Amino acid sequence: MTDYSRNGKFERESRTSHSYIIRDEEVQAYLNNCTIPASTRNVELNTALKYTVDYPEGNSIEHIIAVDGENTTLPINEGFPSSLLTFFQFGSIVIEIKDLQDMEKKPFVSPEDIKKLKEIKREKLVLPTKNISLVGGMDFKTVVRTAIQDFFRKDHAWNSPMLETVYWFLFETYNPAAVKPVHMLSQCPQCGTRDIPLERDKMRPEYSWACTHHLCRKEIFLTDVFKLFERVDNETGAEAIVSMLRGVVETFLILHAIRQLIDIEEGLVSQFLFVKDGPLSFSGETAPMQLPMLKLLSYLSKTNNRINLVGVEAGGSFVEHAKQIRDKIKPGEVFLLNNAHIYRYVLVGDSKSQRYGESTYYGGKIIYKSLDERIYVLTLPVDNPVTYYSVPELKDLKNLQEVLFSVARLRCDIYENALIPIAVVNKMISLSTQAGTKILEKFAKKTVQK
C-alpha cells in the first residue's frame, strides 16, 4: 500500500465518521440546543462603548514596575511512585520612562538595552507538588502550606517580608480609621472546622493563629487565607494550585512595592505604573482576595496615592477575539467590554444570567488599539466590576488616559501582544532553556537526598 492510498483511505474514513456524527438525530437535537460564540464576520461593536482616547499633555508616570513569574514541574525520581517538585521563578523590574524613550525606535530589545533596565530582582520558590515529605513526618498538605508561608516570610524587596504586606492588605491597616478586626477563614486547613475567625490582635509574631476548635488548636498560617490548601490533597498532590499560586505571588509582589512606596513618601507611588502579566483578577480558590483588593484600590484612589495599574493579556480567548475584530477599532480607540459582548462573541454563556468577573475581577477589560495599530487586551482597576461589565463607562477605568499613554510606549516586537517590561522580565526568569532545566534537576536531587 502506498502512502498516497493510505492517506486517501484515512481521509475518506474521517469524512465518513464526520457525516455520521451530524446525521445522528440525538446529536443533531443536542446541537440545536447549544450556542457557540458568533463568528467574527457577524460581530457588531456597540458604538456607545467605543471611545477615542484623549492622551494627557504631560505624564506624571516616570517609572514602570513589571512583575512576571514562571514555573516548571519536574519529576525527581525515576520509577514509582513519582515525586514532583515545582520551581517558580519570579522577576520584578523597574524601568525609567526616559530609558524607554531611547529604546522607542528600535525594532527589538537587545542585550545592551536590557542592561540599561535597572533593578531586576529574581526570587525563587520551590513547591513540593507530589509525594514529598519533610523530616518530622508532616503530612503533604502541611508540607505545601509551610513552603508557601516560608516563601512569604522571606525578605523581599526593601528587606521586608511579604507577610507584612498580606497583613496590611487583609486587615486594611493602610486605613487607620477602618482597620478590620477579624478575617473569617472558610475552614481550618487541619481539622476542617468551618468559619474560623482570625482575629487581628490574636495573631502570633510568626503570622499565624491557633485553630479555635478546642480539640484541634493546630497552627493556621496567614497565607492560608489564599485557601490554596483546599485544592491540595495528600494523595493527588498540589498540581491544581500551581497557576493560582503563581498569580497570587505576582499580585503580592506588586502590592508589596505599592505598600513600600506609600511608606516612603506620600504621592510617590503615583509616579509608577505597575504592569501585571494577565488580567486583574484572583482566580479559583483565591477569589476571596477580590474584595480586599477592591477596598484597597478604592481607598487609595481617594488619597494622594493614586495607583496606576494595568493587566496585560498575552493569550487566551480575549486576545484571539481582539485580533479578529482589530479592523473594527480605529487607532487610538478603546472598546469597553460588557457582558452582552463577552457572552455573545467571546465566551459561551448567557449575558442575562451571567456576570463576567463578578467574584474574581477587580479590573474592567478593554480592547485598545494604539496609534501604531497594535491591539491589546487590558484590564484597569474599577470600583465595581458588576456595574462595569453591565454598563461600562470610560470614567470607571482608573487613570485610563495616563496608563494608555505609557502602554503605547511599551510596545514590544519580540512577543506579539506583550509589552517590553513583561517581555524582558520573562526573558530574565525563563526556566525553559535546557541548561536551566538541568540545573533544576540537579538541585532537586540534591535537595531531596538531604
- 10 Å Cβ neighbour count for 170? 17
In this complex, which beta carbon is closest to Zn ion, that of residue 200 or of residue 213?
Answer: 213
Shortest distance, CB of residue 187 to Zn ion, whole angstroms? 8
Q: Does 191 participate in binding Zn ion (rule CB under 5 A)?
A: yes
198 touching Zn ion, by CB under 5 A: no
Q: Does 141 bind Zn ion (CB under 5 A)?
A: no
**Contacts for 141 with CB less than 8 Å, ≥ 6 apart:** 189, 229, 232, 233, 234
Place of cell 498538605: 141
Decide if residue 211 touches Zn ion (CB under 5 A): yes
Instruction: Dump strand ranges (E) for 258-362.
Output: 272-277, 308-313, 333-336
Q: Which residue has the cell 490533597?
A: 233
Amino acid at 423: A
**Cβ distance to Zn ion smaller for residue 179 or 210:** 210
- Indicate whether 100 belongs to the interface with Zn ion (CB under 5 A): no
Provide the minimum distance between the beta carbon of 213 and Zn ion in the complex, in angstroms, as a whole number: 5
Cell of 24: 445522528
Instruction: Examine residue 190 and tell whether it contacts Zn ion (CB under 5 A).
Output: yes
- 117 belongs to the binding site for Zn ion (CB under 5 A): no
Task: Find how far residue 164's CA is from the centre of its chain.
Answer: 21
Q: Which amino acid is at 39?
A: S
Q: In DSSP terms, which residues pair with 65 in a beta bridge?
A: 94, 274
Complex with Zn ion: residue 116 or 213, whichever CB lies closer: 213
Residue 190 or 305: the one with the smaller Cβ distance to Zn ion is: 190
- Residues touching Zn ion: how many (CB under 5 A)? 6
* 188 scored as a contact of Zn ion (CB under 5 A): yes
CB of 314 to Zn ion, least distance (A): 41
Is position 216 an interface residue for Zn ion (rule: CB under 5 A)? yes
64 binds Zn ion (CB under 5 A): no
Q: Any contact of residue 289 with Zn ion (CB under 5 A)?
A: no
**Which residues face 375 on adjacent strands?**
369
**Is residue 253 within the footprint of Zn ion (CB under 5 A)?**
no
Based on CB atoms, which residue is closest to Zn ion, 116 or 218?
218
Cβ 411 to Zn ion shortest distance, Å: 51
Q: Which is nearer to Zn ion, 211 or 404 (CB)?
A: 211
CA distance 10 to 265: 70
Cell digits for 373?
Answer: 495599530
Neighbour-count burial for 390-418, b at 16+ CB within 10 Å, e otherwise: eebeeebbbbbebbbbbbbbbebeeeebb
Question: Which residues of this protein are in contact with Zn ion, per CB under 5 A?
Answer: 188, 190-191, 211, 213, 216
